[in-house]
C-alpha cells in the first residue's frame, strides 16, 4: 500500500515537471521594469512639435516638382511642389558618416556605396 502511494506520487511529480511553464511567470518580470500592458497613451503626449509636422511652405528652387531635398543640418525634408512651394517634413538625423557627401544633386543621384546598392540611375 505504501509502495503504491510513493509510486503514484512519483508519477504525479514527473507529470507536473513535464508540463509547459505558464507565460504568466515571464510577464511578472516584464511588469517589474515599468511595462504597462494595455496602457492607452494620451494623444497630446504623442504629438510632434509644430515645427516638425508636415507643412506647406514657400520654397524657391530650380528642381522639378516631385524632387525630394533633404537638409540634414536643418532636420527637414522637402518635397518640391509647383508654384514655388514644397511639403516640409521634420526628420531625425543620425550620426555623421566618414564618407564624403556630395552637395550637388547630380552627383548624389549616381553615388554608390560599397554594397553595390544605387538609387536606380
Mean pLDDT confidence for 3-9: 77
pTM here is: 0.46
Averaged pLDDT of the chain: 75
Taking the C-alpha atoms of residue 48 and residue 46, their distance in angstroms, rounded to an integer, is 7
pLDDT at position 59, please?
93
Tell me the residue length of the chain: 121
Name the more confident of 52 and 106.
Answer: 52
Name the more confident of 99 and 51.
Answer: 51
The ranges assigned to domains in the chain are 48-94
| 7-62 pLDDT tens trace | 777 887 777 666 665 555 555 554 444 567 777 778 877 788 888 899 999 999 89
Amino acid at each position: 500500500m505504501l509502495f503504491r502511494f510513493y509510486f503514484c506520487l512519483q508519477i504525479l511529480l514527473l507529470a507536473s515537471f513535464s508540463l509547459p511553464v505558464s507565460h504568466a511567470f515571464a510577464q511578472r518580470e516584464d511588469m517589474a521594469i515599468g511595462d504597462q500592458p494595455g496602457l492607452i497613451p494620451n494623444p497630446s503626449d504623442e504629438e510632434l512639435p509644430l515645427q516638425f509636422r508636415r507643412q506647406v511652405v514657400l520654397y524657391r528652387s530650380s528642381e522639378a516638382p516631385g524632387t525630394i531635398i533633404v537638409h540634414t543640418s536643418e532636420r527637414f525634408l522637402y518635397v518640391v511642389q509647383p508654384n514655388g512651394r514644397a511639403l516640409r517634413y521634420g526628420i531625425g538625423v543620425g550620426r555623421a558618416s566618414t564618407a564624403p557627401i556630395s552637395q550637388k544633386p547630380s552627383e548624389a543621384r549616381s553615388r554608390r556605396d560599397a554594397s553595390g546598392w544605387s538609387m536606380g540611375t
